[in-house]
Chain A
Amino acid sequence: MKLPLIAKAFLLEIGFYLFLKLGMPLITSPLPSSVIFMYMALVTISILLYVSIFEDDFNQFYVPIVDFIRGDENEGIGRKMSRTALFILIPLFVGFRSYQSVKPNFNPPFPNRVIHPAPPGSAAGFMNPYEGEVAHREEYIQEGRDIFYQNCVFCHGDKLDGNGLFADALNVKPANFADPTTISMLQESFVFWRVKTGGIGLPEESTPWDSAMPRWELILSEEERWKAIMFLYDYTGYKPRTWELDAGE
């Protein structure tokens, strides 16, 4: 049996929506609803364009709709009921949406937090003093490990995954060093600056008042901080990001 045009259009809309909503997450990350809305608008426009190019198609599409809306004296009870239901549901739905939009909505002021801000000039050019000392490297990493497990583990976690014992209590979650987008995307100098000046040393766009990252320069010596950073890279196996050295190597 040949499907009427309007049913085809309807199925196409549903199919496309399901594909975007359920199919796409299988291939890539789930689409935001605004993107789905955009695609659905495109699909709707193309369907309307398709059916309105030729008059016979358009009539096929348009006449059943008009017939349904205006009704007929000798139509069945089912059709009459569904029309009445639709005519009641549409205004109610629009009314509900308008209630949702005029109802006062209380959302706390939400800062657009920059996670890796541009460091101030003073943060550039920190050099690891142990960089060249290959012979003692393992020793420094061991010391860094002890420093990490005595100071950092409570928030950044035994697995360095930012899920330490205290992590649940924080609003700004501790950095996950095991994640490939943290320390491997940052220069050593930047990491050192973050450790040295802590949360309170962040610029305002990074909401310094919310970060529990201690200002480690008050607690750990410069040497201890460098050793702890060497441990982070060693444990996770990541390499700090470099600019100058790339060219030299």
Chain B
Amino acid sequence: MQVNKLENKNTKKIIFGLFGIFLLISGLGPNLYADETEEASPQKQEDNLPSDDLAAGKIIYEKRCISCHGNEGDGDGPAADRFEPKPRSFKKAEFKYRSTPRNELPTDEDLFRAVTNGLPGTGMPDWADVLNEKKRRQVIKYIKTFSDKWEKQKEKPQVITVGEPIPTSAESIERGQKQFTALGCTLCHGTEGRGDGPTSLVLRNHRGDPVFPRNLNKNWLFRGGGDAKDIYKRVNTGLNGTPMPSFADKLDNEKSWDLANYVRSLSPPVKPERGSLIKPLKIEEAVPTDPEDPLWAEAASSWFPMMGQISFEERLFTPTVTDITVQSIYNEKEIGFKLIWDDRSHSKASKPSAKMKTYTDQVAIQFPEKLQPGGVKKPYFIMGDEKLGVNLWNWRSEDKHVFETNANGILNGEIEQEKSDLSGEGIFKNGQYQVVIKRSLQTADKEKDIQFEVGEFYPIAFFAMDGTNGEVGTKRSITPWYFVLMEPETPKSVYIFPPIVVLLVFGMEFVLVKILKKNRKASGSS
């Protein structure tokens, strides 16, 4: 008996040992392999900086900042012309985002915040991952040498304090909205805050360049931060070098919060997530062409960020249409798309003699002319290529005209179809376009028109042009390819199969218990 026990234990140990070794080997295997390939040099950083802060700041500035802000801190680096807003001039030292009263210099903390977090929606990135706090402070010290305003500054300005918060509520927002109108905010920012007020196209900054009021419906692009607290500060500090005044003398703490809560409420609670697949809503009735038809409220919305077309000359570096929202509805016969995007003005083509050329606003939905086998291959996303053409559904603001084109590459031009099956309507209201374009699922021209079937994935992309921003031809906002899918109806088997499985498993359990009970009886009686 003793011997037996001992053997028992040893056998266990041996078996376990073997398993342990096996697990170790299979676990370490891939890691040993990975170690071989992961030999990479670290990125070059500013190392061995001089101990003097100014000298160190200069080295950092010349590597990281000079290309936009310029050799002399003038804000005229090589990249400056192609950004909107332009890089800050440290020589002028007119800083927009401060915690200090209007026309005062910012605090070091204000500058530190801008360098650390960047300015959303501009070329200024967040430097925190590349420059540690010490380096950021050193470069701030250095940029203050470009202007003598800092030396002349007699005493530190009083920082605007944010008082006891008033949480957002329907009442606070309503009071804020009244302030918004009473203070004249709508003159620049527009009735619904899309930066489309009556003065919005004629404002100038301290350089004499056009400057545009912020679209308050997109708080993720607020340079100084999109929280109610940031907005509170903005309305109390104003933006130096721009027409945005400080309202500090007209607002107390409560009014500031009300106004901030109202402005915050104009944007969605969180930044929309980028869509990928558009799923149209199936209806029985006709697809509405009126963008304000209540049926559109039932269709899901997809949000797509846009970028300037900078792959082909002439390029658009400073687009004004930064995103587009898309909905879709279909029935047995036709499919419609509703496109929603912000534009601060309804543009018309200027006369040939005009000094500032403007063009019509325009939008387009892009499909491949044909689906490729397998569904992976597509035409080039910027208006196709020589081999694979695209089918474009366009709408322009000037004459509210829907038209259909085909293209084989953006440089080869668009060919308008003489006879198109498209129809649609568009409206412009308070700085926003809403356009519906629809078509029958199938058409007679199988070569040039995309043909729709339920259950297929169709590549889809979008273009938008703001004519007031000089956008025409190749100068346009673009998106990459996404997909649209009309979902087939769920087959009935989906609702039949799982219950059968449930019953089967339950039956098996029942049988198992029966057998076990029977066994016990059998063993009990024996």
- State the A residues within 8 Å of B (CB): 28, 39, 42, 46, 49-50, 53-54, 66, 69-71, 87, 90-92, 94-96, 98-99, 102-104, 106, 108-111, 145-146, 148-151, 153-155, 157-159, 163, 165-166, 168-172, 178, 180-181, 184-185, 198-200, 204, 207-210, 212-215, 218-219, 235-239
Nearest residue in A to B47 (C-beta to C-beta)? A237
Asked whether A70 and B516 contact (CB < 8 A) given A165-B122, A171-B480, A212-B311, the answer is: yes
Which residues of chain A come closer than 8 Å to B308, judged between CB atoms?
154, 166
Which residues of chain A come closer than 8 Å to B490, judged between CB atoms?
103-104
Distance in Å: Cβ of B491 to nearest Cβ of chain A: 7
* Choice from B15, B40, B381 contacting A181 with Cβ under 8 Å: B40
Asked whether A102 and B498 contact (CB < 8 A) given A90-B505, A90-B509, A210-B480, the answer is: yes
25 A-B pairs with CB atoms under 8 Å apart are A53-B12, A69-B513, A91-B506, A95-B498, A95-B499, A102-B494, A103-B494, A149-B67, A149-B78, A149-B79, A150-B79, A153-B67, A154-B82, A165-B122, A166-B307, A170-B307, A184-B41, A185-B40, A198-B311, A207-B376, A212-B480, A214-B310, A236-B44, A237-B42, A238-B43
* Choice from B44, B312, B483 contacting A237 with Cβ under 8 Å: B44
Distance in Å: Cβ of B382 to nearest Cβ of chain A: 8
5 smallest beta-carbon distances between A and B, as pairs: A237-B44, A180-B40, A166-B307, A95-B502, A109-B375
Nearest residue in A to B488 (C-beta to C-beta)? A104
Which residues of chain A come closer than 8 Å to B127, judged between CB atoms?
159
* Contact in complex: B79, A54 (CB < 8 Å): no
Measured between alpha carbons, how far is A50 from B12 in the docked complex, in Å? 7
Which residues of chain A come closer than 8 Å to B33, judged between CB atoms?
none
B512 within 8 A of A: yes
The interface centre, meaning the residue of B15, B125, B317, B498 with most chain A CB atoms within 10 A of its CB, is B498
Which residues of chain B come closer than 8 Å to A238, judged between CB atoms?
41, 43-44
Distance in Å: Cβ of B384 to nearest Cβ of chain A: 9
* Contact in complex: A70, B43 (CB < 8 Å): no
Asked whether A218 and B310 contact (CB < 8 A) given A104-B488, A178-B43, A208-B380, the answer is: no
| Extra 11 A-B pairs, beta carbons < 8 Å, given A102-B498, A108-B457, A209-B481 | A54-B8, A145-B78, A149-B77, A153-B67, A165-B122, A210-B378, A210-B480, A212-B480, A214-B311, A214-B312, A236-B43
Which residues of chain B come closer than 8 Å to A215, judged between CB atoms?
311
* Contact in complex: A70, B312 (CB < 8 Å): no
Which residues of chain A come closer than 8 Å to B317, judged between CB atoms?
154
Asked whether A154 and B310 contact (CB < 8 A) given A108-B485, A209-B381, the answer is: yes
B68 within 8 A of A: yes
Which residues of chain A come closer than 8 Å to B310, judged between CB atoms?
151, 154-155, 166, 214
* Contact in complex: A237, B313 (CB < 8 Å): no
B526 within 8 A of A: no
* Contact in complex: A169, B479 (CB < 8 Å): yes
Distance in Å: Cβ of A167 to nearest Cβ of chain B: 8
Distance in Å: Cβ of B320 to nearest Cβ of chain A: 13
Distance in Å: Cβ of A10 to nearest Cβ of chain B: 18
Which residues of chain B come closer than 8 Å to A170, judged between CB atoms?
307, 480
The interface centre, meaning the residue of B12, B130, B305, B480 with most chain A CB atoms within 10 A of its CB, is B480
Measured between alpha carbons, how far is A108 from B188 in the docked complex, in Å? 43
The interface centre, meaning the residue of A49, A104, A110, A185 with most chain B CB atoms within 10 A of its CB, is A104
* Choice from B68, B81, B313, B376 contacting A109 with Cβ under 8 Å: B376
Measured between alpha carbons, how far is A236 from B46 in the docked complex, in Å? 11
* Choice from B276, B313, B479 contacting A108 with Cβ under 8 Å: B276
* Contact in complex: A70, B505 (CB < 8 Å): no
- State the B residues within 8 Å of A (CB): 8, 11-12, 15-16, 19, 22-23, 27, 31, 40-44, 63-64, 67-68, 77-79, 81-82, 121-125, 127, 129-130, 274, 276-277, 304-308, 310-313, 317, 374-382, 385, 388, 457, 478-483, 485, 487-488, 490-491, 493-494, 497-499, 501-503, 505-506, 509, 512-513, 516-517, 520
* Contact in complex: B513, A71 (CB < 8 Å): yes
Which residues of chain A come closer than 8 Å to B491, judged between CB atoms?
104
Asked whether A218 and B498 contact (CB < 8 A) given A94-B505, A158-B68, A210-B381, the answer is: no
Which residues of chain B come closer than 8 Å to A151, judged between CB atoms?
310
Measured between alpha carbons, how far is A206 from B122 in the docked complex, in Å? 31
* Contact in complex: B380, A200 (CB < 8 Å): yes
* Contact in complex: A237, B512 (CB < 8 Å): no
Measured between alpha carbons, how far is A208 from B381 in the docked complex, in Å? 9
* Contact in complex: B67, A109 (CB < 8 Å): no
The interface centre, meaning the residue of A39, A92, A109 with most chain B CB atoms within 10 A of its CB, is A109
Measured between alpha carbons, how far is A119 from B242 in the docked complex, in Å? 51
Which residues of chain B come closer than 8 Å to A87, judged between CB atoms?
506, 509
Measured between alpha carbons, how far is A103 from B312 in the docked complex, in Å? 44
* Contact in complex: B44, A91 (CB < 8 Å): no
* Contact in complex: B485, A106 (CB < 8 Å): yes
Which residues of chain B come closer than 8 Å to A212, judged between CB atoms?
307, 311, 381-382, 480
Asked whether A169 and B306 contact (CB < 8 A) given A50-B15, A209-B481, A212-B381, the answer is: yes
Which residues of chain B come closer than 8 Å to A39, judged between CB atoms?
23, 27
Which residues of chain A come closer than 8 Å to B11, judged between CB atoms?
53
* Contact in complex: B125, A157 (CB < 8 Å): yes
* Contact in complex: A98, B501 (CB < 8 Å): yes
* Contact in complex: B516, A69 (CB < 8 Å): yes
Which residues of chain A come closer than 8 Å to B312, judged between CB atoms?
214, 218
* Choice from A46, A49, A180 contacting B41 with Cβ under 8 Å: A180
Nearest residue in A to B16 (C-beta to C-beta)? A50
Which residues of chain A come closer than 8 Å to B381, judged between CB atoms?
209-210, 212
* Contact in complex: A106, B487 (CB < 8 Å): yes
Which residues of chain B come closer than 8 Å to A184, judged between CB atoms?
40-41
Nearest residue in B to A110 (C-beta to C-beta)? B376
Which residues of chain A come closer than 8 Å to B377, judged between CB atoms?
204, 209
Which residues of chain A come closer than 8 Å to B16, judged between CB atoms?
46, 50
Which residues of chain B come closer than 8 Å to A218, judged between CB atoms?
312-313
Which residues of chain B come closer than 8 Å to A169, judged between CB atoms?
304-307, 478-480
Distance in Å: Cβ of A112 to nearest Cβ of chain B: 9
Distance in Å: Cβ of B388 to nearest Cβ of chain A: 8
The interface centre, meaning the residue of B8, B41, B130, B307 with most chain A CB atoms within 10 A of its CB, is B307
Measured between alpha carbons, how far is A235 from B43 in the docked complex, in Å? 9
Nearest residue in B to A165 (C-beta to C-beta)? B123
Measured between alpha carbons, how far is A149 from B16 in the docked complex, in Å? 62
* Contact in complex: B123, A95 (CB < 8 Å): no
Measured between alpha carbons, how far is A154 from B16 in the docked complex, in Å? 58
Asked whether A209 and B379 contact (CB < 8 A) given A165-B122, A171-B481, the answer is: yes
Measured between alpha carbons, how far is A63 from B376 in the docked complex, in Å? 56
Nearest residue in A to B520 (C-beta to C-beta)? A70
Which residues of chain B come closer than 8 Å to A171, judged between CB atoms?
480-482
The interface centre, meaning the residue of B12, B16, B43, B505 with most chain A CB atoms within 10 A of its CB, is B43
Measured between alpha carbons, how far is A90 from B512 in the docked complex, in Å? 14
* Contact in complex: B374, A109 (CB < 8 Å): yes
* Contact in complex: B277, A102 (CB < 8 Å): no
* Contact in complex: A172, B23 (CB < 8 Å): no
Which residues of chain A come closer than 8 Å to B379, judged between CB atoms?
209
